[in-house]
């Protein structure tokens, strides 16, 4: 068990190193392109170009440039955006990250609870009208674009019916820090949570229902039923744990992708200045240091999330723990 954990941690560190090298080569070692000009921005003065070349060590070998860049990004954290008037990019990301993490974490809690409830209920009552109704409801959620649903929610709650008793509590668009006003934080995010969760509730409930139905024919399930256990207990205690392996795999990938910037549309619709929106602005301005920093942030989070999923496998499936 301990060796499995250490082996996966070592693999995670190796992957992170490989990603950092690849990102550096893509942004700063492309043949025929001058990274100095791309960092300094459009119409940069010769003095700025010279300062950037010395600061980032572009007049030195590639390994030195890579070490200088990683030092600026992870150690001194003074990587500077010349497009944005010399602003440090790491503090920008650290300021935007709580917004995205708050948005995605709340939505994830909602879609996990609802999808497990819907998937288990549909599998227990498979073939009936409840099963068909829940799966049809999930299909509707999958089919609704997030940005359209968000715009409809804003139209109803921010404009047309905002003064009614039902939606008078809805605040204006934007983010309220949790440390400043917990209730305001909840009120500002509850509608974005629900909007973002709709798509994933549909996907996860259908996946979990299919896995629960498939596991019914497994030998360990027949053995549990032969011991006289109730069908509901067999399904929840024995079937659900095995079926959660696919569920956890999907969750790890989706959660990491959303925190890494995949929640861009939700952030834009609800006026949340998160990582996704920050990345979009960096791409629009061709702000190379900020683009590289957000890419590294996203990659690091995806790798760490997948490492956590691998750890969960060790508890969900003994075959993985035993190396089989």
Same domain, 64 and 116: no
Query: Does residue 314 share a domain with residue 224?
Result: yes
pLDDT band at 324 (very low <50, low <70, confident <90, very high): very low
Average pLDDT, the chain: 82
Residue 86 falls inside a structural domain: no
Is there a single domain that holds both residue 114 and residue 59? no
The three-state (H, E, C) secondary structure of the chain, written as one string: CHHHHHHHHHHHHHHHHHHHHHHHHHHHCCCCCCHHHHHHCCCCCHHHHHHHHHHCCCCCCHHHHHHHHHHHHHHCCCCEECCCCCEEHHHHHHHHHHHHHHHHHHHHHHHHHHHHHHHHHHHHCCCCHHHHHHHHHHHHHHHCCHHHHHHHHHHHHHHHCCCCCCCCCCCCCCCCCCCCCHHHHHHHHHHHHHHHHHHHHHHHHHHHHHHHHHHCCCHHHHHHHHCCCCHHHHHHHHHHHHHHHHHHHHHHHHHHHHHHHHCHHHHHHCCCCCHHHHHHHHHHHCCHHHHHHHHHHHHHHHHHHHHHHHHHHHHHCHHHHCCC
Q: Is residue 83 part of a domain?
A: no
Instruction: Please indicate, yes or no, if residue 265 is contained in any of the structural domains.
Output: yes
Answer yes or no: do 158 and 266 share one domain: yes
pLDDT digits (tens, 9 = 90+) for 266-311: 998 998 988 888 888 888 877 778 888 888 888 888 888 877 777 7
Q: Which domain holds residue 27?
A: 1-76
Q: Is residue 126 scored above 70 in pLDDT?
A: yes
pTM for the whole thing? 0.83
Tally of domains within the chain = 2
Pair 62, 108 in one domain: no
**137: domain CATH number?**
1.10.3720.10
Highest mean pLDDT among 22-26, 50-54, 194-198: 194-198
């Amino acid at each position: 068990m301990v060796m499995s954990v250490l082996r996966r941690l070592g693999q995670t560190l190796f992957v992170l190193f490989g990603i950092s090298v690849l990102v550096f080569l893509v942004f700063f070692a492309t043949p025929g392109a001058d990274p100095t000009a791309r960092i300094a921005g459009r119409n940069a003065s010769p003095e700025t170009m010279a300062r950037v070349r010395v600061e980032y060590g572009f007049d030195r070998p590639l390994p030195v440039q890579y070490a200088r860049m990683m030092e600026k990004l992870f150690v001194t954290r003074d990587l500077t955006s010349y497009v944005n008037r010399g602003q440090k990019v790491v503090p920008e990301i650290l300021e935007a990250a709580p917004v995205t993490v708050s948005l995605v974490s709340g939505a994830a809690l909602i879609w996990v609870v609802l999808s497990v409830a819907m998937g288990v209920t549909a599998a227990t009552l498979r073939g009936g009208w409840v099963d068909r109704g829940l799966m049809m409801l999930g299909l509707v959620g999958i089919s609704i674009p997030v940005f359209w649903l968000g715009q409809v929610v804003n139209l109803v709650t921010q404009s047309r019916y905002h003064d009614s008793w039902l939606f008078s509590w809805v605040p204006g668009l934007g983010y309220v820090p949790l440390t400043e006003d917990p209730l305001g934080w909840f009120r500002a995010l509850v509608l974005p949570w629900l909007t973002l969760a709709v798509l994933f509730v549909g996907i996860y409930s259908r996946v979990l229902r299919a896995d629960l139905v498939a596991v019914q024919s497994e030998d360990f399930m027949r053995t549990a039923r032969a011991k006289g256990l109730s069908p509901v207990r067999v399904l929840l205690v024995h079937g659900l744990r095995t079926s959660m392996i696919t569920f956890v795999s999907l969750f790890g990938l989706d959660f990491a992708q959303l925190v890494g910037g995949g929640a861009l549309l939700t952030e834009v619709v609800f006026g949340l200045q998160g990582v996704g929106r920050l990345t979009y602005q960096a791409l629009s301005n061709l702000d190379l240091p900020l683009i590289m920093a957000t890419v590294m942030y996203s990659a690091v989070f995806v790798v760490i999330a997948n490492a956590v999923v691998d750890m969960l496998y060790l508890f969900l499936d003994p075959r993985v723990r035993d190396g089989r």
